[in-house]
Amino acid sequence: MDSRWSDADAERAVERYTKQGVGLDLALRTYTTRLLGADPRLVIHGGGNTSVKTVMPTLTGERVEVLCVKGSGWDMASIEPQGLPAVRLDALRPLAELDALGDEEMVSAQRGALIDANAPNPSVETLLHAFLPHKYIDHTHANAVLALTDQPDAAALCREVYGETMALVPYVMPGFALAKRAMEVFREQPGVEGMVLLRHGIFSFGESAREAYERMIDKVTLAEQRIARAGRTTLAGVAMHRKRPKAFAPIRLPQRIAPAADVAPILRGLAAQPLGPGRYRRWVLAFRSSPQILEFVNGSELTRYAQQGTATPDHVIRTKRLPLITPPADADEMAGFEAGARAAMEAYQAAYHAYFTANNARQAVPKTELDPVPRVILVPGLGLFGLGATAAEAAVAADLAETNVEVIGAAEAVGTFTAISEAEAFDIEYWSLEQAKLGKGAAKALAGHIVVITGGGSGIGAACARAFRAAGADVCVADVDERAAEAVAAEVGGLAVTCDVTRHDSVEAAFAKIAERHGGIDIVVSNAGRAWQGRIGEVDERVLRDSFELNFWAHQTVAQAAVGVMSRQRTGGCLLFNVSKQAIDPGPNFGPYGLPKAATLALMRQYALDHGRDGIRAAAVNADRIRTGLLDEAMITTRARARGISPETYMSGNLLGLEVSAEDVAAAFVHLALSEKTTAATLTVDGGNIAASLR
């Protein structure tokens, strides 16, 4: 592992931060913290922490010795000085004399010692940093180090690699007890350059930011070299194999493995938790595969090494202790795969309940059981899936699962992967301080739902993307204009999919991409369209056929593809169509547009009729006079002039005298998506037009 320290970059960081009033010590602390956080082999998704001891003024001007330590919830890769809150050392050091200190008492003491009461909570490992004398302290969960510490003979291995330069601390749950134990170990070996926490991670010490950082790099490099001698080399975060561990001897797989796009909806449906008739708590999936992952999931001893636990306890709260393992996905026997996966899911959830019951029995204060849904699913022959309440959470679970793959692979090359015990994992998973990291709050109405919006790159489609994202859904923006789709997707943090809805192959490819990336589809807003014009007795046949291709057949193609995905999930779904007022109140010279829209209205009702028993609802929005690509400013002006009125008067020419916006239409689509007992309905959004109103 190479040092990323740069004198020039360090100077620029110091210059930038000192202009903000930040001291030299904290400026350099921020710089090296970001260096550590930028390497996923060292730190991933909030793991690890750093600190510096320095002097700062209080509000009264008194200069006091403080510890600036990573704040809980901050990501080391992007941390800023405010992410390293300052706590008074004279308030923390006396705590070392206590025999015991409860978690909540510890947090209270740390917050009480803050220089700034509005600062974030200091790390749960703040006292460990405070009780040690070093100016700079770095802590990571380096993959290579974990491969050595997650062993039955971890202490002997680490002594072989580090000699007397590093102190060894047996596994102790983070908090006051670990801080005390680390202090005691250090007092026995005061000349060490750092500490290895067995089954947990590594600390490095230094009198300068550079010294602590480069000691971390050096110690991790020594671990990498030891793994390489066992026949496995880590290079730039990717495992390069020279020798396959015996445990990874491949199993026999079916001749054809089903693609992730076919497997993911099945798994997503099995993970969904019923909340009542037709209602589910849904999960988003993130798929990963690579030669290293495939070697792992195809290994003959998968059920042993993958069922030991996580590489470091920090992962447990985000991935649970164990993954779910399914049978291989035989493309020629998908019914058999679904049955096997269902049995595996049921067994996993029963085992999780038993795990909770057994470990909760020894708690002084009983815990409330969390959901039993796995956060990682391993599919031999295919890869792995991370699960989360959102696409972002699913990606975190998948990232951590990939880290486990790398660590376990290296550990098996060296010896035998061994994690903390079940009881110790339970204490982390149900630890109130770790639970607080997740920032739990009330879930939004469409959290866990995956929404696809065609024509999502502009106008009503773009407004729908924003509205569904605001309601908590993960949004997929499908548009024939790639740049437009990407721009809207970037705005809402969604997935952009290039899709020509008039082509079956393009729609199938887009939906396969969505299923592979997110696991499935719950809601489709079939919105793409164009307003062709012409007197019906004179219009060219090509114009009418082109309009039917986009304004009717494309809706059928999209809906049919969506139903295919929803049927594999077996959790229902919602098809929403943009039918326009032309479907109900046709205007002169708009037959080429109104006729296919009327057919689409009938299509919506047919889907509601034929797929209602599958839990798939269908509904439509009937809108009029919206400023979009379908009704541009030139068309508005032309229509207004024909009536002898201003464009503004034309746009508000309805019973309420109010102009209707794309956002109003989007709100109607969201409303229909949330109306769980409504199907075959058409919602009118036009400010009032009796001729276009329904019952």
Enzyme catalytic residues: 593
The answer to whether 428 and 309 are in contact (CB under 8 A) is no
Q: d(Cα 171, Cα 152) in Å, to the nearest integer? A: 12
Q: d(Cα 200, Cα 170) in Å, to the nearest integer? A: 9
Rounded to whole angstroms, what are the CA distances from 424 to 164, 305, 307, 440, 570?
28, 18, 15, 23, 37
Q: d(Cα 264, Cα 550) in Å, to the nearest integer? A: 29
- Separate counts of helices (H) and strands (E) for the chain: 26, 22
Crossing angle of the two packed helices 554-569 and 260-271, in degrees rounded to 10: 60
- In sequence order, the β-bridge partners of residue 681 are 619
Cα angle for residues 533, 668, 581 (degrees, 5° grid): 25
User: What are the helix (H) ranges across 478-590?
Assistant: 482-492, 504-518, 541-548, 554-569
Q: d(Cα 529, Cα 549) in Å, to the nearest integer? A: 10
Structure token digits, residue 462:
């773009």
φ, ψ of residue 129 in degrees (nearest 5): -65, -40
**Pick from 604, 621, 599, 574: nearest CA to 680:** 604
For residue 526, which amino acid is it? S
Q: d(Cα 47, Cα 33) in Å, to the nearest integer? A: 12
Please tell me the total number of residues recorded for the chain in this structure: 695
The string of DSSP codes covering 200-263 is TEEEEEESSHHHHHHHHHHHHHHHHHHHHHTTEEEETTEEEESS--GGGPBPP--SSBPPHHHH
Give the burial string for 147-178 (b: 16+ CB within 10 Å, else e).
bbbbbeebeebbeebbeeebbbbebbbbbbeb
The 3-state secondary structure of 459-486 reads HHHHHHHHHHHHCCCEEEEEECCHHHHH
